[in-house]
Structure 1
Amino acid sequence: MFGRLLLSAMVTFSLLFTAVLPAKAQERFDRSSLTVQTASGGKYRFDVELALTPAQQAQGLMFRQSMAADAGMLFLYDRPQPASFWMKNTLIPLDMLFIGADGRIVNIHDRATPQSLDAVNSAGPVKGILEINGGMAARLGIKPGDLVVHQAFGTAK
């Protein structure tokens, strides 16, 4: 009996915490735009939110129900480093483009599974990660080696 009550209390607390957290912990994000230039000559513009602080990076795109086709979130680090992400509390599938300090895409993780706790890792040190709608990279022909044009990588003109 005590075990059932304890389990019920834990589930209730977990649900309340999850329901309250998004409203209470919402971070504001600056906005920017960037272009991905593919080796085949494609140029694709995205309007992105910038995740610059640890709090913004921890929140990311959690609890979002949808995202515009030309939108995304750009996570930026002060220096290149290995990166690892998960999809906890993220409700939409995402492509994660891991970007080196030179603006070149190091690797892409296609269609990260919503709410998954599995680690999604960079293939080496990166300065940024661009999250876009799941499947978008494949639809646009974006591949590792393609260039992300943004001032954070010194590639903007």
Structure 2
Amino acid sequence: MGAGPSVALTPLAAPCPTDRVTINGEFGTAAFNIDVADDEPTRAQGLMHVAQMPLSAGMLFVYQKPQPLSFWMRNTLIELDMIFVDGFGEIKHIHHRAQPHDETVISPGSIPLVGVLEINGGLAKRLGIKVGDVLRHPAFESREEPWNCAE
């Protein structure tokens, strides 16, 4: 008897990691290892009381629906860049070098947004990250279907 048809099995793609984001722009690609703040307690805590953070690290704040977002730096010990994004991960506003302990409200206004990436202060300019660049993370939809997070 002859052998049956040969079937090549393709392994299922692993889910995209939730502890990493990439930002793509004219400058190229930057990647950050992140903690995700996606509920009220973790968003309220944020990066308060963190004395230092590696250059390749950050915190991603994620909201379930688009809304105006605002932050302040009470009890935050390090200078931060705040990168505000819409539901597709497109960067809509960058607040550079938010100052530690400052209670001034930081907001891009009434633009409905769903996420904010906080990274070390000054890093966005140093890397060349700009409004219009795209942050990729499983929390955001992709305009390029399907999005391959392995890229």
Bin of the TM-score, shorter chain as denominator length: 0.7 to 0.9
Partner of 1:7: none
User: Once the 2 structures are TM-superposed, how far is the Cα of residue 154 of structure 1 from its aligned partner?
Assistant: 2.1
Structure 1 runs (4+) deviating above 2 angstroms are: none
Higher relative contact order (CA 8 A, sep 6+): 2
User: Once the 2 structures are TM-superposed, how far is the Cα of residue 136 of structure 1 from its aligned partner?
Assistant: 0.4
For residues 65 and 81 of structure 1, what CA distance do their matches in structure 2 show? 30
1:81 to 53, 67, 70: 67
Please give the secondary structure, in 1, of the residue aligned with 2:84.
Answer: strand
**Structure with more helix by fraction:** 1
Partner of 1:130: 117
1:144 to 121, 131, 138: 131
- Where do 5+ consecutive residues of structure 1 fail to align? 1-30
Partner of 1:42: 28
The alignment of Structure 1 onto Structure 2 pairs a total of residues equal to 127
Deviations, residues 65-89 of structure 1 (Å, cap 9, x unaligned): 0000000000000011000000000
- Where do 5+ consecutive residues of structure 2 fail to align? 1-17
Alignment of 1:1-157 (within 5 A): 32-38=19-25, 40-123=26-109, 124-155=111-142, 156-157=147-148
Give the TM-score normalised by structure 1.
0.78
Give the TM-score normalised by structure 2.
0.81
Give the greater-gyration-radius structure (CA): 2
